[in-house]
Structure 1
Amino acid sequence: MIKKLTLTLAATALLILPALPAPSFAANAGETVTSGQLLNNRVLIPLRAVSQHLGASVGWFQKEKLVSIDNGGSRIFLAANFKRALVYTLPIDQSTVKYIEMDVPVQVIQGTTYVPLKFVGQSLGATIAWNQQSKQATIAVDGKKIVVNMEQPSISVPSSQQITDTHLILLSQKLNEAVIGSSVKNLTTLFKPLFTEKLIRSISQDNLEHSTKYEAPITSVEYTSKTTATLSQSVIIANGLTAEDQYIEDRTAQLIYTGGVWKVDRVNYTRRVIPAGFGQYNPT
Structure 2
Amino acid sequence: SLWGWGVNKNADQGTGDYEFMHPKPVAMQKPISVSLNGEAVAMNNGVITKDGQNFVPLRSVFEKLGAVVAYKETSGQKMVTITRQNGDQKTVIQVNAKTGATSVNGAEVKLANNPFNVSGTVYLPLRFISEKLGATVEWLPAEERIAITMK
TM-score by length of 2: 0.62
Aligned to 2:63, the other structure's residue is in SS state: helix
Q: Which has the larger radius of gyration?
A: 1
1:74 matches 2:91:
yes
Aligned to 2:142, the other structure's residue is in SS state: coil
How far, CA to CA, are the matches of 2:117 and 2:142 in structure 1?
26
2:60 aligned residue (44, 49, 74): 49
Conserved? CA contact 1:56–1:71, under 8 Å = yes
C-alpha displacement of 1:29: 4.4
Q: Deviations over 1:225-255 (max 9, x none)?
A: xxxxxxxxxxxxxxxxxxxxxxxxxxxxxxx
Decide whether aligned partners of structure 1 residues 38 and 30 sit closer, same or farther in structure 2, where only a CA change above 3 A counts: same
Aligned to 1:102, the other structure's residue is in SS state: coil
Conserved? CA contact 2:37–2:149, under 8 Å = no
Which 5+ residue runs of structure 1 have no aligned equivalent? 1-26, 89-96, 143-284
Q: Deviations over 1:60-97 (max 9, x none)?
A: 11222110111111222101143441122xxxxxxxx2
**RMSD, aligned α-carbons:** 2.0
How far, CA to CA, are the matches of 2:149 and 2:109 in structure 1?
20
Structure 2 residue identity aligned to 1:43: N
1:40 matches 2:47:
no
C-alpha displacement of 1:118: 2.3
How far, CA to CA, are the matches of 1:66 and 1:124 in structure 2?
18
How far, CA to CA, are the matches of 2:148 and 2:52 in structure 1?
18
Structure 2 residue identity aligned to 1:71: R
How far, CA to CA, are the matches of 2:112 and 2:99 in structure 1?
10
Cross-structure match for 1:86:
103
Q: Deviations over 1:19-45 (max 9, x none)?
A: xxxxxxxx7740323421122322111
How far, CA to CA, are the matches of 1:105 and 1:32 in structure 2?
23
Alignment of 1:6-21 (within 5 A): none
Cross-structure match for 1:116:
125
Decide whether aligned partners of structure 1 residues 110 and 133 sit closer, same or farther in structure 2, where only a CA change above 3 A counts: farther
How far, CA to CA, are the matches of 1:133 and 1:111 in structure 2?
32
How far, CA to CA, are the matches of 1:118 and 1:100 in structure 2?
14
Conserved? CA contact 1:85–1:101, under 8 Å = yes
TM-score by length of 1: 0.35
C-alpha displacement of 1:54: 0.8
1:125 matches 2:142:
no
Conserved? CA contact 1:83–1:103, under 8 Å = no
Q: Deviations over 1:183-236 (max 9, x none)?
A: xxxxxxxxxxxxxxxxxxxxxxxxxxxxxxxxxxxxxxxxxxxxxxxxxxxxxx
